[in-house]
Amino acid sequence: MALFEARDPDFEARVRADFARQGLMTTLGAELVDVSPGEVTISMPFRADLTQQHGYLHAGAITAIVDSACGYAALSLMPAGVEVLTVEYKVNFLAPASGSRFIARGRVTKPGRTLTVCTGDVFVPDSDGRERHIATMLTTMMALAPRMAD
């Protein structure tokens, strides 16, 4: 059940095309798993060249995928032609980023004409089918119409 209705019927194609232009997502090996109105899921496998000093995934890599998930969750509700920009985010790291795969889910908390507030979470699927919650994000995204640049 979708919590929101997309104003642009082509929202998924638009999000997927935009994601494909993010060089960093390719570099990180991240994939767009699911695009629903107001909710986007990105998946990324563990790689040793994305780690911090203890061998866990670096906070910056975790942040990159959950930022993109939140940004595209916001974009999925925006009218055609509008672009999305990250204004700011806050991330809490809840547990060591160990595991073989990382799932980032971004959801719109409050859509708006100019600003959209999103919540994102990063999970590690464990071998027993449960998900370990390793990070949570609260973020403000901005709609950028061609003439609205600031």
Size of the site for a copy of itself (CB under 8 A): 54
Is 42 an interacting residue with respect to a copy of itself (CB under 8 A)?
A: no
What is d(CA 147, CA 133) in angstroms, rounded to the nearest whole number?
40
In 3D, which of 110, 109, 76 has the Cα closest to residue 8?
A: 76
Per the CB < 8 A criterion, the answer to whether 40 and 15 are in contact is yes
Which x/- pattern, by CB under 8 A, does the window 86-115 give for a copy of itself? Answer: xxxxxxxxxx-------------xx-xxxx
Q: Residue 7 — φ and ψ, nearest 5°?
A: -80, -25
Per the CB < 8 A criterion, the answer to whether 74 and 15 are in contact is no
> Smaller CB distance to a copy of itself: residue 37 or 111?
111
> Smaller CB distance to a copy of itself: residue 5 or 54?
54
- Name residues contacting a copy of itself, limited to 46-85 (CB under 8 A): 47-54, 58-61, 63-65, 67-68, 83, 85
What is d(CA 44, CA 25) in angstroms, rounded to the nearest whole number?
9
Task: By CB under 8 A, name the binding residues for a copy of itself.
Answer: 18-19, 21-28, 47-54, 58-61, 63-65, 67-68, 83, 85-95, 109-110, 112-115, 117, 119, 133, 136, 138, 140, 142, 148, 150
